[in-house]
Amino acid sequence: MRWRHGPFARNLLRHRMRRAALRFAAHGWAVTPGGYFNGRRMACDRATCLATSCHPVLTDWETQSSTFTAQLDEWWAQHPHAVLLPTGHTFDVLEVPALLGTAAVCGPPLGNARRVRGPVAVTATGRWMFLMRPGAALAPELDHRVDVLRHSHGSWIPAPPTVLPEGPVRWQVSPAQVNWHLPDAEELQQALVRSLVSLDASFLDLPLTARRRLAPPPRIGRPPTMQAALRRAG
């Protein structure tokens, strides 16, 4: 998909990013600016920066993230910087594949379990990011999976309406839809585990040929996070 990058479109996107940053800040969610998509890569103003994927603009981004209007106005004064949300403070984030995310949000309730609701952001590549209260360890049923990532201290996520090279980040469940409520981390993880068990059972019910078509290719280790990609690029 091609994105427009003329002066008018860039200025419109910059205003959208700034409004989003101010909205997060108004609810106590600190933000930090990331590189902006220039049509080819996620660029920033640091001459020595070699990163091409999404990355923070500030070197000490975690301690310099802010909720102050004047600071946000300054950061989004010239470029449509990505809006990055540092994790591990106000919230943690569970990043899961689309199939699991869809089952947890859109699937039918399992048994008598209450469906857990909270903000969920989705990338154009099909990664679902569940925001939850911070501090809980990753459940054993999820910890061994290479396609599940927990973002806590020292990490961040790109927030809507950030535009990445592969497309925009969007809300599947916006914070406003749940009144900016963050779900309990253990309840959210158990909801994902229940969805995972249901998906595994459905998968095993399929014929062997169908399972082979749907099974993902083997991977060695966890998928690289955006921070790991940035370190390699530097």
Name 7's Cβ contacts closer than 8 Å, sequence gap at least 6.
none
Contact predicate 121/60, CB 8 Å:
no
- pLDDT for the residue 211: 36
Domain count, the chain: 1
- pLDDT for the residue 52: 84
Three-class SS of residue 104?
A: helix
Kindly list the strands in the beta sheet with 156-159, ordered across the sheet, starting from the edge strand earlier in the chain.
Answer: 32-34, 82-86, 156-159
Domain assignment of residue 174, yes or no? yes
* pLDDT tens digit sequence for 28-54: 999 999 999 988 889 887 878 888 899
pLDDT of 224 over the 50 cut: no
Three-class SS of residue 168?
A: strand
Please give the Cα distance from 148 to 198 (Å, whole number): 17
- pLDDT for the residue 212: 43
Instruction: Give the global pTM.
Output: 0.82
Longest dimension (CA), the chain: 59
Q: Which helix (H) or strand (E) holds 196?
A: helix 185-204
Domain assignment of residue 215, yes or no? no
Please give the Cα distance from 160 to 123 (Å, whole number): 9
Domain assignment of residue 34, yes or no? yes
Domain assignment of residue 123, yes or no? yes
Domain assignment of residue 213, yes or no? no
Domain assignment of residue 168, yes or no? yes
Domain assignment of residue 193, yes or no? yes
Q: Which domain holds residue 177?
A: 7-208+222-233
Q: What is the mean pLDDT of the chain?
A: 84
